[in-house]
Amino acid sequence: MKITELFDRGEFVVSAEVGPPKGIHIDHLVEEAKTYLSGVHALNVTDNQSSVMRLGSLATCKVLKDAGLNPIYQLTCRDRNRIALQSDLLSAAMLGIENLLLLTGDHTRLGDHPQAKPVFDLDSVSLIHTAKLLESGVDLGGNPLVGQAPSFAKGAVVSPCSDSVDAQLTKMERKVAAGAEYFQTQAVFDPEKFIQFMERAKQFGKPVQLGIIIPKSAGMAKFMNDNVAGIHVPAALIAELKADKEKTKAGITGIEIAARIIKACKPYCQGVHIMALGWESKVPALLELAGI
């Protein structure tokens, strides 16, 4: 099912992220998804996240779909030129994968193959435009497609807690103009900043899912502050993670923090996207505590 259909029905849409393994065996991923993530509407499948080589997102999406789950195909511009990107979009449509999250992608120097040559023939905005163009029945070269054109739910990303909110709103506007139909945000740890951003972003009339990471430790929070663009974990939350190390280690503190953020932001967004980062087993408890 297209995620946009859920938004259109007025549902508060919950998605969760899963990362393909560095190998070909994904039985464990599928079982974890069926066990812990069956209560969400859709599953984002990352595309060589952080430029680390893994099993392909599209193949993983197909396996999850065959298992009765609703995948969102993440597609980045880092590793493919426009020919390959269009080909993969058509392949997704042929396999019945309708939900997309279209991103530029992290640079290869950040991953486990720093010597790899990055492509970036397109960026996220032009990739969204490409998907919309394919839906009209032609490719980027102006050549007609054969037979029925694909139909997608086209998603994009925005960082509401970035240092430059104006720049993020400009990017969001460009993505909407290119054809983006819904947005997922970078992880939010400051509800006040998110709410301020959403007051300005509502002008675009597109559903936005609040991005949530369950913080595992104070060290993880500090690492994100230092290394992940668009994320800022306030000092008060870091102190909370330090206060009771056993409680934090068990995931209780992180779940409490994430649930509070969801409750504070829920009136201002149309859904939530959970990036569990290996803590998929904590997602049911988080959703229950958040009242979803």
**Which domains are assigned to the chain?**
3-290 (3.20.20.220)
Decide if 37 contacts 18 (C-beta within 8 A). Answer: yes
Tell me, what's the pLDDT at 127?
98
Decide if 57 contacts 45 (C-beta within 8 A). Answer: yes
Local confidence pLDDT in tens for the 292 residues of the chain: 899 999 999 999 999 999 999 999 999 999 999 999 988 999 999 999 999 999 999 999 999 999 999 999 999 999 999 999 999 999 999 999 999 999 999 899 988 999 999 999 999 999 999 999 999 999 999 999 999 999 999 999 999 998 889 999 999 999 999 999 999 999 999 999 999 999 999 999 999 999 999 999 989 999 998 888 788 888 999 999 999 889 998 899 999 999 999 999 999 999 999 999 889 999 999 999 999 9
What whole-number distance in Å separates Cα of residue 168 and Cα of residue 60?
30
Tell me, what's the pLDDT at 207?
98
What whole-number distance in Å separates Cα of residue 33 and Cα of residue 26?
11
What whole-number distance in Å separates Cα of residue 248 and Cα of residue 206?
36
Decide if 172 contacts 158 (C-beta within 8 A). Answer: yes
Tell me, what's the pLDDT at 5?
97
Decide if 30 contacts 67 (C-beta within 8 A). Answer: yes
Helix (H, G, I), strand (E, B) or coil at 157: strand
Amino acid 53 reads: M
Tell me, what's the pLDDT at 244?
86
